[in-house]
Amino acid sequence: MSSQLTPIDMAKFIAAKQATEYVEDGMNVGLGSGSTAAWFIQCLGEMVRDEGLKIKGVPTSSQTAELAREVGIEIVSLEQVKWLDLTVDGTDEYDRNLNLIKGGGGAHLREKIVATASERMIVIADATKKVDTLGAFPLPVEVVPFGLAATKGLIEETLVGMDVLGRDIKQRMHGDRPFVTDGGNLILDLHLRHIGNARLLGFILNQVPGVVEHGLFIDICDMVIVGHGDGKVTVRDITNDTSEVVQYDVRDDDNIFADIAE
């Protein structure tokens, strides 16, 4: 298998595999969206099939729900379980304080709801997602369709007083049509390049009429698991102020996780 994966895919895969170590039988688990979270869902599916793992998954997007069902994970709604033991998701960026930018796939509203309804949130990523300061990745802001131009104008006015390097705002498109979220809303991508005070920006954006949610995840992530193409995984738990390195034995066969040395 390893010979078939790019270094980035390998990094995502082993980060996802490490994250399964925190899943226990009987848990209610939030299932993130995106390519890295998809690896985690596939790993969980193998555990359900091969080890008899029994969990209930709450998906953060329709695509996630479809994949989870395909691999045999029982899907429930957040309303049914009310609270989650754990959420595992990817990220577009994270900083040293484990603050995030999410929403590259347009699912950040549901992702934030699910993450904040969990005892713990674990982010899985490859090393390219780490940044000194958030903002290189465009910040997604989900807005209602009504009054779109007015909402965009208010956001532009808000950015004038913020510590950012760019203020370009583009509506996200899907081909020649506006991108529409699972909630029926639109997305404005804020190309800020640098966010000097992410906490303040997030607070102010939440005050703009028409804004449903933004992609800044502040003080939500508890742990980040970062995979590397050479089989190394770094695990940082900000809650317990711990870090560790796990080395997977990456080999060109079907059992690339046979040997693990911590």
**Catalytic residue annotation:** 111
* Cα–Cα distance measured from residue 198 to residue 217, given in angstroms and rounded to the nearest whole number: 9
Region at 193 (left for phi over 0; alpha for psi -120 to 50; beta for the rest): left
The whole-angstrom distance between residue 28's C-alpha and the CA centroid of its chain comes to 17
Compute the distance between CA of residue 59 and CA of residue 71 in angstroms, rounded to an integer.
Answer: 13
Strand ranges across the sheet with 100-101: 93-94, 100-101, 216-217
Residue 173 tokens, joined = 């498109």
How many other C-beta atoms lie within 10 A of the C-beta of residue 240?
Answer: 9
